[in-house]
Structure 1
Amino acid sequence: MGEPLNRVVQLSKYGGPECLRIVELPTPTADAGEVRVRLLASSINYTETLIRRHLYPQTAAYRVPFVMGYDIVGEIDEIGPGVSGFAIGDRVADMTVTGSNAAYRVLKANDLTHVPADVDPAEAATLILSWTTAYQMLHRSGRAARGQRVLMHGAGGAVGQALLSLAKLAGIEAWGAAHGRYAALICELGGHPIDYDKEDFARVLPGGFDIVFDGIGEDAYRHSFAALKPGGLLVAIGYSAGAEAKQGMLRALANIARMYLWGLMPRGKRTRFYSINAMRARHPEWFKQDLGYLFQLLSERRISPSVARRISFDEVPEAHRQLEAGGLQGKIVLCPKERE
């Protein structure tokens, strides 16, 4: 008998969740420098709804159909020639952007981070994109120091929740801006809640914030820039407001360019755009180091990532609908062996 077929979530065309198809493809084999993993967990991220809608710059040139899946925790079941440091049965993780909503996936051995055997694969998967993004924004891009005051927009989302938790761990005072229903959660994570519907975040802290992390990009980041103290830093990480308003990608990129121009004005304030993929390309060793540190924190139970639901392949389209509707307080994670 040959290899089993590989069940995957495939994007048949750009558009809504109905464009996602569950199909069976030939199972890949590991080539030189590669390993094949059996999927244990792959988190479903809001970023993937942008990929699906053709609003994500990094995948804008991709031609459909292709397999979805931004990250993966898997168990090695095949090792290609020339690979050392890994064994059959090892648990590993990688951030792939696409291709990991699949029962089997081939990965480059040099890109992998070991996953401790004592951690839950679903919890580990939540760390790959959202928590590593939060950690690198806080410590690599923002270089936040103990005692500083920072503001996180969209604090009820996955990255926001992670940043509040990591800020508390590092002795950084954090405010979380979100809609009022997230206030209790923000307090639980150690942050000070700011209700978008009732408060002007630019006036909450007299003198302004040391750092503002903005993953929304509303009004081309103008209001976030105003919330900074002199010499403060705006770290922009996305443009979900533009995506929700169905603005085109060129408009979103123009807003980012405008943010950089504001940073050149003589106000003593600075701007920086953070991309986890761009930082990984420049500093691949940082990505593995930071993700490995987060896995260590998880193993020691010093952090507690939230898994809202564990789903099967057939439930992925509905998970995209739930992400776009908002209101989730944890990650949806594809865990096929648990659910099928």
Structure 2
Amino acid sequence: MDPVPGAGRFAPSPSGDLHVGNLRTAVLAWLFARTTGRSFRLRVENLDRVAPGAQERQLNDLTALGLDWDGPVVRQSDRHEVYTAAITRLEQDGLTYECFCTRREIQEAAAAPHGPEGAYPGTCRNLTAPERGERRQAGRRSALRLRAEAAEWTVHDDLLGDLTGPVDDLVLRRTDGVVAYNLAVVVDDAAAGVDQVVRGDDLLTSAPRQAFLGHLLGLPQPTYAHVPLALNIHGARLAKRDGAVTLTDLRALGRSPGDVLGVIARSLDLAEPGEDVTMTELAARFDPTALPRHPWVFDPGGVRPSSR
């Protein structure tokens, strides 16, 4: 018997409503998973800023478009013990160190050799115990960083092929004690059996760093599919300030979830203008090799009512 496939996922942060670019990525993640026999997981990344009611609205919007998922919704706020265990393992392996640098100090310092843009320059990497003690006595709070003993790591992207990128001493736990995104996402994906990560290509440079961190934790490495972002009519990254870009906004203008799904489908070359489609129909047409490789320019005025 063939092995059971793994899982894909969508993992929004409940900082506000999803805009159509976010919804497009969710549709793609669902299509990649369902058409390869994978399950589809949903995770709420709520370690940071949470807008009241945003989580419920996001889940409702996904359901309105026809997306479903397997198992319960996972919330990062419920998983602190798991993150602590991962950090403890890295500490025991001698792969962490305290960092007392402020964001401004890091920005003003020279970049780390061979590191990605904005990479930590290693200022605190080799501090002695007395030096660390001096900083604590001065009231400086510390973050916990990974001691990366590699300069680069290779991942596979189903759309872009093998990609080798730099890794650096990324933050594992912030100065406020909250676990960092890069650690949480790696631990959460592995725990959910996620072996296929579909997300916006703004996160492409994060893939080698996250995969390397997973390697150090003994976790399986997923494959990736980084998809082009949605842009506004001025060519900038789409944001909620760009007018009617959320499902709620578009509904207020008389557009249905089906209208929005149709626009998303047309942006992926999976539907004709004015055609009504469902997620099941899109899955039957889906071919990752035929996806557009350029960013999608979204004009809210281009969302027309369906023919139904």
Normalised TM-score (structure 1)? 0.23
Normalised TM-score (structure 2)? 0.25
Which has the larger Rg?
A: 2
Greater share of strand residues, 1 or 2? 1
